[in-house]
Amino acid sequence: MIRQAKAVIFDLDGVIVDSNPAIEAFWKSWTDRESIPLTEALTREWIHGRKAVDTVGGLFGHLTTARQQQIIEDAFVFDQTMQPPGVAGIVPFILDLNLLGIATGVVTSSHHSRMLQFLEALGIADSFTGFVTAHDVTQGKPHPEPYLKMSAQLGIDPASCLVFEDAVSGLRSAAAAGMQVIAVGAESSRSLLMQEGASALIPDFNVLKTLPSGIYLDDRLVFSF
């Protein structure tokens, strides 16, 4: 059965911009400083898709409050100075959705100013119908609040929203909100991401085709408009 998507919603890091390598390197520099072994499991659980304050609480909660605040401030400076490239194919994909009149949104654990900086650099800051950022919610991903807030903002039922996510916390958030999810990531992460609620996995947006009838993957209609 082909599902219908009345809105398409994107995470920011790892979906719109290819920022994950730099983000991982930043947090590893701090875990190395504090002699904390940063495993893949900890990276998935506490780094990708999380607010900085949640990452600090999860990885550095045993440190003094002053030290934790220092890390949060350093993360803010790092975020503001990043200049990541766009994920392959993302800009034409979003512009195609605009031409078809499909509602679009960004749901991110990042700050609004950082998000706009990245979107402006790609020339798509005006291409979205709505935004939900870290300061717009009381509970961040993996709680469903961020995606439910976007659903309310767009005025579209969660079941009719298609989400692109790359992080476990984001997949859990979107799935808990009752939305349909396509994961963006490497083939090696397929099992994990599919088990978290993704209906498909793509390496980037070049593998998708957008037509008036819907979104195609490998020339197969996967979501109708």
Contact 200, 223 (CB under 8 A): no
- The residues with which 209 forms a beta bridge, in sequence order, are 216
Return the HEC string of 119-144.
Answer: HHHHCCCCCCCEEECHHHCCCCCCCC
Cβ proximity of 146 and 49 under 8 Å: no
d(CA 83, CA 168): 24
Domain ranges of the chain: 3-18+85-224, 20-81
Cis ω for the linkage preceding 142 (within 30 of 0): yes
pTM for this prediction: 0.83
| Fold designation for 3-18+85-224 | Rossmann fold (3.40.50)
pLDDT at 44: 80
- Spell out the per-residue pLDDT of the chain, length 225, in tens: 678 999 999 999 999 999 888 888 899 999 999 999 998 888 888 888 788 888 999 999 999 999 999 999 998 888 888 889 999 999 999 999 999 999 999 999 988 999 999 999 999 999 999 999 999 999 999 999 999 999 999 999 999 999 999 989 999 999 999 999 999 998 988 988 999 989 999 999 999 999 999 999 988 999 999
